[in-house]
Structure 1
Amino acid sequence: MAQTLYFPLLLIALCSISECVQRQYHFINEKKNSAKAQRYCRDKYTDLATVDNMNDMIQLNKSLNNRRIWIGLQKTRHYKWHWSSGDPALFLNWASGQPDVNADCTFIRNGSWHDWPCTKKCRFICYNMSQGLVFVDQKMNWRAAQSYCRQNHIDLVTVRNQNENQQLEKFINDRNSSGSAVWIGLFSDTWQWSDQSNSSFRYWNSGEPNNMLWNEDCTAIEQNTHGKWIDISCNRQYPFVCHEDKLIVIQQKLSWSEALRYCRQHHVDLVSVQSVEMQYEVMNVVKLASTEAVWLGLRFSHILGIWFWVSGETVCYHNWAPGNGTSEEDCEPTVRSGAVQSGGHQTWISRPETDRLNFICTNY
């Protein structure tokens, strides 16, 4: 039985639904080993395909057509902690002596985190855009819990700071009187994307990765497993998928007008954020910035008294930080433009357009 409670994991409002894919995928119907496929993608596009979420998988599965295809996930020698949702693991709340070296998944008990073999069975917490936290009172291993959350909600819960951890602890204690272990979305593995992306999205088939032949260091999408992934020798030859980045963080410090001019000369435009999906994409790339805020294609019109996107749309969906985007602030004589914070909750802020910040261009 699943029980829910609103939890402010995302301080954003969705006013229309549109499909936004951060990366443009290109299916290459030529058989190459993984290294040659990687070289081809880097020469002609950005890299072998990186996958951020299930929306990306839906796009990739359209390319399968009874084929096995390479993507860019490759094994390394270094373990790293990730969130199932794809968020970077910047906040950790390990119990004393944790983590140890022999377990790759994480449960929470009394607010503290413990690593444990992913094959163990626990109750777990999903999150959902409309419902918030969802307590699932069924015991599953970690990967089964992940699949359940992705099929019925969004994903296993992510915890980004101490406040969220305390809210999660209270939520669990109200529903889990036995004090038993509860899975969260944190896991560890040695896999890394070819483009060095921090994406922690994984979609392994049951029993994978298994390193069956002791040299299975690359990843392919398998058509007969409904698009789930297998590890396999990098020397095999398959078709492959490249990606081309849709959003690019420019680490130059320019005024808003200079940033707009740069994007239109070198790419397409400053980015417009018109949906929750596009906000996710911005959140994924803005961490590359070197300034505390990053310009968006968002401007205030004193004549019309509205905020608007340079792409021509008014602001329906919004993600303003408290005190920003208000009518009182926008009455100031200074010309103001919109930026996204590169840290924290990555909400939008109003800044004088003469401030010199990094900025995000779009290629499409």
Structure 2
Amino acid sequence: MNEKRNCMISRTSALPLIFISVFFHFALGSLEFHFIDQSKSYSEAKTYCRQRYTDLATVESLADMNTLLDLFLTTGDTAWIGLEIGNQFNWHWSRADENTDYFNWEKEETQTLNSEKCAAMSQNGSWLVSDCGDEKNFICHANSDASSNMFIAEAKSWRQAQSHCRSLSSDLVSIHSAEENAADSILSRSQTVWIGLFGDPWKWSSGSNSSFRLWKPNQPDYVNSQQCVVTELKDGGKWNNRNCNAKFSFICQKELSSTPASTRPQTTQSKSTSQQLSTNLTTPQQNSPQFATKTFYYEKSSTVHLDITNVTASTPQHSVTASPTGMGPLSQTTMQSDTVTSRMNSSFMNSEKLILIKKNLTWIEALIYCQKHHVDLVLIDSKDTQDKVAAKVKNATSQYVWLGLCYSCTFKFWFWIGTTPSCYQNWMPGQGPEMVYECGTRGAVEATGRQQWTALAETEEMNFICSENGG
């Protein structure tokens, strides 16, 4: 996967040390995530997070993981998250954070601290503990009521069955009453089938009860004291259990409300969601309440070769606020469900003073330059601003001029780095939201002709326009 999949800074062989912070706001809970690019053991990482933030990160959904993949800039491919071996075996439903308020075991279930177990429904409707690798037919949950659940006559392992259901915008069935159990028993056609119940000894350091798991194939393996968990960002974010003494970068979280981590409300899955994620992490999941925000805050030091003097390697001085523009193919489905907000510097809003910089820099270098010397790369959210930009670029010394316009190769939409959603567009024919682009694609405006927008690789060097507070 192309490592330039975000709107931050990529590492080059360089001079000054720059700190950039990025904020993404999605209605997914009250958290702030921080990526820490330091190698520490799991215990050291947890101590660091608890001293400076709240705890190591709890990842509660595929939407969370997708965002981390799209935005985190890492020097490696592995980072600690807050999942560790506990001293108790617990049962969970595959559908995230549903209550385990009903059981129908044929005999007392086996509890173990050294393996994962999965539940199947027998021919008579009672539940059995089974090895998750066994192959069985299975039942997928419907988006309406239990009578619409789907029997799948394909023998698969529990995880393969889970992936199959999720590819249908569903999940393995969860059961909360004798009535639902009876309905699924009839649906199973007198066969032993997988249901969405699994048990494991893993717990979140934060105290969250989240059942979300994203293990790599054949993981966890419970060998060699591998009792702590990493996310392997270059392998689709999949999780692996590792020896807790190994040293990796890590992800912290910070509570944004006064609610203690152990008691904060859990994300619940909508009964009528239409855009859930399959395990290939391609689209955001819509399974969260819309009354709070989860902020993904990326704290990363990187070196960039720039002709900038007196750069201080200290607390971030600027923020890049990134919000979808409503210009991508997911805007009509995902963003209506996942309300997007943004945290903005007030001087960035409605900026009227635009400065054409006649230096040929890459998009990232241009971004840093504008944030150091002015406010930010320009955003165009109206015809009036477009006209002002068009007047400026006529004096450019390059064929195209950089804008503050980014493309998310994971979510497949365009967004401005510092604005609430905007519908204004001025793309060249054949460009824009109808197209799918490579990671590291950014937006520019042509200096001649009709001054329309185009998509270019962020490594291109050209002039750019900075915004300054008007007045």
Q: Is the 8 A contact 1:88 1:198 kept in 2?
A: no
Q: Counterparts of 1:191-230 in structure 2 under 5 Å?
A: 191-212=202-223, 214-230=224-240
List alignment gaps of at least 5 residues for structure 1: 1-17, 251-274, 283-315, 318-364
Task: Show the counterpart of 1:311.
Answer: none
Tell me which amino acid in the other structure corresponds to 1:81: W
Task: Show the counterpart of 1:232.
Answer: 242
C-alpha deviation, 1:80, in angstroms: 1.3
1:145-182 deviation per Cα after TM superposition (whole angstroms, max 9, x unaligned): 12222333232111122232233223x14xx2xx1111
Q: Counterparts of 1:318-357 in structure 2 under 5 Å?
A: none
1:204-243 deviation per Cα after TM superposition (whole angstroms, max 9, x unaligned): 101111134x111100011343211111011111111112
Match for residue 20 of structure 1 among 27, 34, 38: 27
Secondary structure of residue in 2 paired with 1:116: strand
For residues 152 and 26 of structure 2, what CA distance do their matches in structure 1 show? 29
Task: Show the counterpart of 2:38.
Answer: 30
Name which of structure 1's ranges 231-240 and 24-33 shifts more when overlaid on structure 2: 24-33
Task: Show the counterpart of 1:111.
Answer: 125
For residues 235 and 169 of structure 1, what CA distance do their matches in structure 2 show? 46
Q: Is the 8 A contact 2:136 2:194 kept in 1?
A: yes
Q: Is the 8 A contact 2:58 2:253 kept in 1?
A: yes
Match for residue 99 of structure 1 among 109, 116, 123: 109
Q: Counterparts of 1:131-150 in structure 2 under 5 Å?
A: 133-150=149-166
For residues 222 and 79 of structure 1, what CA distance do their matches in structure 2 show? 25
Task: Show the counterpart of 2:87.
Answer: 77
C-alpha deviation, 1:68, in angstroms: 0.3
Tell me which amino acid in the other structure corresponds to 1:38: K
C-alpha deviation, 1:19, in angstroms: 4.5
1:5-42 deviation per Cα after TM superposition (whole angstroms, max 9, x unaligned): xxxxxxxxxxxxx9422233221112211111111212
For residues 233 and 84 of structure 2, what CA distance do their matches in structure 1 show? 19
Q: Is the 8 A contact 1:32 1:238 kept in 2?
A: yes
1:42-98 deviation per Cα after TM superposition (whole angstroms, max 9, x unaligned): 222221111212112112223264520000000123211111223232211112x24
Task: Show the counterpart of 2:178.
Answer: 162
CA distance 1:37–1:101, shift in 2 (3 Å):
closer
| Identical columns (%) | 33
List alignment gaps of at least 5 residues for structure 2: 1-24, 261-272, 274-285, 293-335, 338-471
RMSD between superposed Cα atoms in Å = 2.8
CA distance 1:130–1:245, shift in 2 (3 Å):
farther
Task: Show the counterpart of 1:129.
Answer: 143
1:176-201 deviation per Cα after TM superposition (whole angstroms, max 9, x unaligned): 2xx11110111111111101211111
For residues 49 and 149 of structure 1, what CA distance do their matches in structure 2 show? 27
Return the TM-score normalized by structure 1. Answer: 0.58
C-alpha deviation, 1:128, in angstroms: 4.6
Q: Is the 8 A contact 2:90 2:199 kept in 1?
A: yes
CA distance 1:107–1:246, shift in 2 (3 Å):
farther
Q: Is the 8 A contact 2:28 2:290 kept in 1?
A: no
CA distance 1:166–1:222, shift in 2 (3 Å):
same
Q: Is the 8 A contact 1:125 1:135 kept in 2?
A: yes
How many pairs does the alignment contain?
Answer: 236
Task: Show the counterpart of 2:10.
Answer: none
Q: Is the 8 A contact 1:64 1:223 kept in 2?
A: no
For residues 215 and 126 of structure 1, what CA distance do their matches in structure 2 show? 35
Q: Is the 8 A contact 1:217 1:232 kept in 2?
A: yes
Q: Is the 8 A contact 1:211 1:232 kept in 2?
A: no
Secondary structure of residue in 2 paired with 1:76: strand
For residues 199 and 91 of structure 2, what CA distance do their matches in structure 1 show? 4
For residues 164 and 26 of structure 1, what CA distance do their matches in structure 2 show? 41
Tell me which amino acid in the other structure corresponds to 1:20: A
Return the TM-score normalized by structure 2. Answer: 0.46
1:326-354 deviation per Cα after TM superposition (whole angstroms, max 9, x unaligned): xxxxxxxxxxxxxxxxxxxxxxxxxxxxx
